[in-house]
Structure 1
């Protein structure tokens, strides 16, 4: 089953734990039920909490688009962009970047995530506190409508095959196994952004354009929509974490 990025799940569950919802161990287990082994995560989370952090935040950068990533050195920047995700804390500054691998023999492989800590600058709190889920939702819905118009103009159907449609339909309206303590509006935006990102990814894998030129135009539109949904997903998650940490009222 498709899931939200690991960093999104960890940010939501660990911030919930830090607010007294569950234990840290339970939070990591809930966030990463599909992962058999983690290294470097719990230790850094405990350190951040002991040093007074109240929320874990998330960035979903990509090569050439570092939106949401705190200022950090080139090694950390490249690692986060290549991974497509990272955790960070705003007060002290600091970054955790995941690296996914498998272990074990063929037919009995396990999934492992190693989390590498990097230095990063603190993030001004007002940048997180200003995130408004309702505005994020309106922006993403406008971007989705624009992408639909672009795809209609190109011709062809991005989700032409039955498997692709079923995969997208499976996730519509679900809550992506997030903590119940998430503010309802932020939860709605996270679910929407996760579904749009998945739909764009599936569309990129299932060619439905009528010509080679159309296929490239369709891919450009879908990649742009996917990036927009990833930015919204990170921002909505951070808005939810800010609310659970008590920085802003739930909204």
Structure 2
């Protein structure tokens, strides 16, 4: 049964649509609706949850965060750059970054990675080691300034029709998030917990995308509204950007 589940999951996670690609460059967001008093550059690193598999580009959480920062905090994000792809593990992201060389002068860098390491049966300690290497890379992209970096937790896909409420998924997601938190805490980097929002997915079906697996644009909006917006804005202001 686990083998069947794995095969189906890999098919869904590794079959990329036009949205599921590495993006380097301007985000293509709508024209500003407010006059900014601060402008930052932002690099978002991750996997399907950052590239927004199965939702339109404008509903990805980094895109929604950028819009809300402008509209509510008068912080313009120019440019927003994304390095993420559907199905990536920590090693896939590391390889892509080595090839892409994003630069070392971003005002803000985020990291959300690990669900594919978990599902494909990789050990937590190996994930933790690779995650730390990615976090070090993220710090480098922020010019070595840890105050410009934040980490987002892995959402829990058990709370989707695909995950079917399987308890072992939730246990393992908790273990992987705990490993990431340990590393992030050592570097004194913010660790923003969106996982409880993802666990509303079975009770609130509109929080799950049409593929019955990934978050919907509405769920990503809740990540921004309930967890990310105020804390990220405070992080930017504290950094003097």
TM-score normalised by the chain length of structure 1: 0.27
Bigger radius of gyration among the two: 1
Greater RCO (Cα-Cα under 8 Å, separation 6 or more): 1
TM-score normalised by the chain length of structure 2: 0.28
